[in-house]
Amino acid sequence: MRTIDDLDWDPNGLLPAVVQDAASGEVLTVAYVSRESLARTRELGQTVFYSRSRGALWHKGETSGNFQDVVSISADCDQDAVVIRVRPRGPACHTGARSCFFEAIEGFEPPSGESIGAVLAELEAIIAARKRERPEGSYTTRLFERGRGRILQKIGEEATETVIAGMSGNRAETVKESADLLFHLLVALAEFEIPLDEVAAELRVRRK
C-alpha cells in the first residue's frame, strides 16, 4: 500500500496516469496527475487531472458532464506512473469518442469489431444515463418506469426465447435473442445499482 508522497514524482511534480474502464479494461485516456489533483480525486471520488497546457487542475466532466467515477488507483512497480480504474459517465475523448485511442497505426491495425467488454461497458453507461435522465420515448425509460417486476419478467421472457432459438439450431436468432437477454440483464443490474465490474469480480473469483 502506497501513499501519495511515496510516489516518484517527476521534477515538475507530475506523474502519467492511464485511465482504464473498470468493467471492460479498455484504456480510455492518458493524462497527468499531481499531488493536489490526486488529493482532489480522493476527495471527490472522480478523476481530477493536472492540465499541463493550462497549468491548472482539471476536473474531468466539469464542463461536459462526462465524469469518471473512480474505482481504484494503483501505482506501477517503480511508483512513477498510476492506473486509475473508473466507471465513465460518457465519452473520455473531447472528440466524443468513448476512448482517446482510436487512430490505428499503419501496419498495426486492430482486428475488426469491438471487444464484448467495451460494448457492454458502453451499453452500461447508456442505460445508466437513461435511468438518470428518463428521456421521453425511450424503451429503457419505460422499463425503469414500470419497475423491477417488469424488468425481471423481461429477463425471464428473453431467457426463454434464447433457449428456444438455441434448441431450433437457428444461429442468427440465437445471436439476436442472446443480445436481448444481455441488454435486459444490464437494465436489471442498473435497477439494482450493481456495476458490471462487481459481476466481473465475482467471475474472477470463480475462474479456474
Q: Are 183 and 153 in contact (CB under 8 A)?
A: no
Measured CA to CA, the distance from residue 7 to residue 149 in angstroms comes to 49
Question: Are 4-88 and 116-206 the same fold in CATH?
Answer: no
For residue 196, the model assigns a pLDDT of 86
Across 76-173, the runs of DSSP E, i.e. the strands, are 82-88
Statement: residue 19 has pLDDT above 90:
yes
Measured CA to CA, the distance from residue 87 to residue 93 in angstroms comes to 14
Cβ count within 10 A of residue 21: 26
For residue 11, the model assigns a pLDDT of 95
Class of residue 200 by CB neighbours under 10 A (exposed 0-12, middle 13-18, buried 19+)? middle
Is the torsion defined by CA of 9, 39, 6, 49 positive or negative?
negative
pLDDT per position as a tens digit, 112-166: 566 787 788 888 888 988 999 999 999 999 999 999 999 999 999 999 999 999 9
Domain coordinates of the chain in residue numbers? 4-88, 116-206
The strand pairing partners of 21, in sequence order, are 86
Measured CA to CA, the distance from residue 35 to residue 12 in angstroms comes to 11
CATH level 2 (architecture), domain 4-88: Roll (3.10)
CA max distance for the chain: 65
Helix, coil or strand: residue 61:
coil
Record the pTM.
0.65
Measured CA to CA, the distance from residue 33 to residue 178 in angstroms comes to 41
Q: What's the fold here for domain 116-206?
A: Helix Hairpins (1.10.287)
**Grid cell of 188 as nine digits:** 436489471
Residue with cell 417486476: 149
For residue 161, the model assigns a pLDDT of 97
For residue 24, the model assigns a pLDDT of 77
